[in-house]
Amino acid sequence: MSKLINAVLTDLRSDTMTKPTADMLKAMLQAKVGDDCYGEDETVTALEQHCANVFQKEAALFMPTGTMSNQVAMLTLVSAGDEIITETGYHIAYFESAQTSYLSHAVLNDLKTDDGILNIDNIKLTLQNKARWSKNYSQAKLVVIENSINCYGGKIFPLTSLKLLYQFCKENELMLYLDGARLLNACIASNTVPASYAKNVDALSICFAKGLGAPFGAMLMGSKDFISKAQKYRKWLGGGLHQAGVMAAACQYALENHMENLVLDHHKAKNLWKNLRHIKELKFMPVETNIVMFDVRNLNVTANQFVALAKAENLLLIAWSNYVVRAVTHRDVTKNAIQIASDQIINIVNKLLKKSMAVSSLT
């Protein structure tokens, strides 16, 4: 069999690897700009209004990154010592615990769930446990969820679950914030309009620099009051930008031209999984959007070792945890590259299986 070394690098580490296209750069060049700190950048203002309309929220605020959106949202919604209920695997807990403690001085109560869907029963239990004690201890004020859920293989947070959760939050005086870095992936895959998700949370953010392919940008959305407070914290963190219209133009371009690509990204992820699902040693999480996650422990390797073998063939993947490998499809990998990547992974698996057979015949 021929050696399947890919001359071109296939980068499936993340959908943040997407690069601006020539047409996107042209839109950036042509952007009408002003100083956004004076509210005078019409391209930024137009993008904020566009997003507020699409998501049917009162107001929107352009942000440099998804992380800053999350951090500003928490600064706005909680005070020092308040508790934020979330899930262990969500970005807020997994990647932003340090930032949250540093900036909001809030306490993350990150619950472990079996399926990644933070549900009412989980939250009820933690509230009941707390309610037994004096109000002088930390009190939960905010619930944070994620959609699609990265660490559960791009799983969609179902709208029905979200509706129940939002109702519960309102009854219990909890605010609900949605980290929607990949919310548009979830919308497209579940055939749901963005406003349906947005209607069932108090505030949310989306990211333009993931599958949408902009080099920069996120949008924070919520009530007028929330956004006006958030504006202050954005400024405090140094996120008050001046001629940000150059960047907003890229994001506007991405919204108008790259949405269909998300559909293709989901097909590519499904294809990758279909090409590999016959390998019984690989344990896949269900593929719902553009993320493919598989456990490699039955091949007697760690995720790091598996990723190193792939890298030797010019295929870049990420070791998500000790044994789980992540591949993310995006607009900068072709359908053909996915076919080659599948063959490369099959090749690696075959080599590993041969090796373990050789080892077991010796023992």
Ligand X SMILES: *Cc1c(COP(=O)(O)O)cnc(C)c1O
- What is the per-residue burial (b if ≥16 Cβ within 10 Å, else e) of 278-293? ebeebeebebbbbbbb
- Residue whose CB is less far from ligand X, 214 or 352: 214
36 counts as binding ligand X under rule CB under 6 A: no
State which of residues 18, 67, 104, 261 lies at the interface with ligand X (CB under 6 A). Answer: 67
- Residue whose CB is less far from ligand X, 190 or 275: 190
Binding mask 176-205 for ligand X (x = CB under 6 A): ---x-xx-----------------------
Nearby residues of 210 by Cβ (< 8 Å), 6 or more positions away:
14, 15, 16, 18, 66, 181, 182, 185, 330
CB of 237 to ligand X, least distance (A): 12
Cβ neighbours around 273 below 10 Å, total:
20
61 counts as binding ligand X under rule CB under 6 A: no
**Rounded CA gap, 160 and 22, in Å?**
40
DSSP string, 64-128: S-HHHHHHHHHHHH--TT-EEEEETTSHHHHTSHHHHHHHT--EEEEE--SSS---HHHHHHHHH
Q: Which of residues 111-140 bind ligand X (CB under 6 A)?
A: none
Q: Which of residues 142-161 bind ligand X (CB under 6 A)?
A: 146, 150
Question: For ligand X, which stretch binds (CB under 6 A), given 64-72, 155-163, 233-241, 342-350?
Answer: 64-72
DSSP string, 127-180: HHHHHTS-TTS--EEEEEEESSBGGGTSB---HHHHHHHHHHHHHTT-EEEEEE
Binding mask 302-331 for ligand X (x = CB under 6 A): ------------------------------
207 counts as binding ligand X under rule CB under 6 A: yes
65 counts as binding ligand X under rule CB under 6 A: yes
Question: For ligand X, which stretch binds (CB under 6 A), given 63-71, 72-80, 249-257, 274-282?
Answer: 63-71
265 counts as binding ligand X under rule CB under 6 A: no
Half-sphere exposure of 322 toward its Cβ, with a 13 Å CA cutoff?
A: 3
Question: For ligand X, which stretch binds (CB under 6 A), given 136-144, 174-182, 241-249, 312-320?
Answer: 174-182
88 counts as binding ligand X under rule CB under 6 A: no
- Residue whose CB is less far from ligand X, 179 or 295: 179
User: Are the beta carbons of 67 and 237 closer than 8 angstroms?
Assistant: no
The size of the interface with ligand X (CB under 6 A), counted in residues, is 13
Binding mask 89-108 for ligand X (x = CB under 6 A): --x-----------------
Nearby residues of 203 by Cβ (< 8 Å), 6 or more positions away:
57, 73, 76, 77, 175, 177, 178, 220, 221, 222, 223, 226
For 13, the 3-state DSSP assignment is: coil
- Residue whose CB is less far from ligand X, 91 or 234: 91
* Chain residues in the site for ligand X (CB under 6 A): 65-67, 70, 91, 146, 150, 179, 181-182, 207, 209, 218
